[in-house]
Amino acid sequence: MSNKVYSSQFKQEVVTAYKNEDFSVKELTERFQIPKVTLYKWDRDI
């Protein structure tokens, strides 16, 4: 398993798309190639 480092701008972009309900969780995780748990963590932390 590799630990990728994402910029805060990238994280904000993903979380904004998630909060605006522009895409489903599945669509976001596939589009941005991130695990679902990562998306939920960013949402909680941002």
- Please indicate, yes or no, if residue 39 is contained in any of the structural domains: yes
Given a cut of 60, is residue 1 above it in pLDDT?
no
- Please indicate, yes or no, if residue 36 is contained in any of the structural domains: yes
Note the pLDDT of residue 3: 83
Note the pLDDT of residue 37: 97
In angstroms, the CA 9 to CA 26 distance is 21
- Please indicate, yes or no, if residue 3 is contained in any of the structural domains: no
- Please indicate, yes or no, if residue 26 is contained in any of the structural domains: yes
Full domain range(s) for residue 31: 8-45
- Structural domains counted in the chain: 1
Structural contact between residues 45 and 8, judged by C-beta atoms closer than 8 angstroms: no
Per-residue pLDDT tens for 4-44? 899 999 999 999 999 999 899 999 999 999 999 999 999 99
* Separation in Å, CA 5 to CA 9, 11, 13, 17, 31: 12, 10, 15, 19, 17
What's the predicted TM-score (pTM) here?
A: 0.85
Structure tokens at 20: 């605006």
